């Protein structure tokens, strides 16, 4: 594995059911399952799917026209069944509007293809969820 391909975060417990994640660039975020306003790990997964596609769709459309509104949501039902805890099918909803005129028309025309490209090829997060991806656990 090359250094430019590796992605990693580290997690430190900061209190009961509360953790701080730190990336290699020094970015920090708090997550919790303790009923606080912090994001839960599942909400962070949904945000990662929406955010990854948002980056893709924005890159493919905003070069044609600056969006007037740009909103992406992700949702899924949390299931507890014979397979353990997991999410059911994820739904990503993309709502983008562009100004009137030729550049906005071009961006609107490109939007469906941009969403499809993100879903089918570009978004690392949703592609990882869609594909069978092994997750190995190790004790240090």
Distance CA 102, CA 44 (A): 37
| pLDDT reading at 2 higher than 90 | no
Name residue, tokens 């790990």. Answer: 41
Reduced to 3 states (helix: H, G, I; strand: E, B; else coil), residue 126 is helix
pTM: 0.92
| pLDDT reading at 11 higher than 90 | yes
Half-sphere exposure of 80 (CA within 13 A, CB side): 0
Distance CA 70, CA 110 (A): 15
Mean pLDDT, to the nearest integer, of 67-76?
Answer: 98
Segment 25-71, tens digit of pLDDT? 999 999 999 788 999 999 999 999 999 999 999 999 999 999 999 99
Segment 107-140, tens digit of pLDDT? 999 999 999 999 999 999 999 999 999 999 999 9
Q: What are the beta bridge partners of residue 92?
A: 74
pLDDT score, position 47: 97
pLDDT score, position 69: 98
């Amino acid at each position: 594995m090359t250094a430019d391909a590796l992605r990693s975060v580290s997690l430190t417990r900061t209190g009961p059911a509360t953790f701080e994640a730190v990336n290699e660039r020094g970015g920090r975020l708090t997550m919790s399952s303790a009923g606080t306003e912090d994001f839960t790990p599942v909400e962070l997964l949904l945000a990662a799917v929406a955010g990854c596609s948002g980056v893709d769709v924005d890159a493919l459309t905003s070069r044609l026209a600056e969006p007037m509104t740009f909103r992406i949501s992700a949702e899924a039902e949390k299931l507890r069944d014979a397979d353990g805890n997991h999410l059911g099918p994820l739904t990503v909803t993309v709502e983008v509007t562009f100004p009137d005129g030729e550049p906005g028309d071009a961006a609107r025309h490109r939007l469906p293809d941009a969403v499809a490209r993100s879903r089918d090829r570009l978004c690392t997060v949703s592609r990882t969820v869609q594909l069978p991806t092994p997750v190995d656990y190790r004790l240090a």
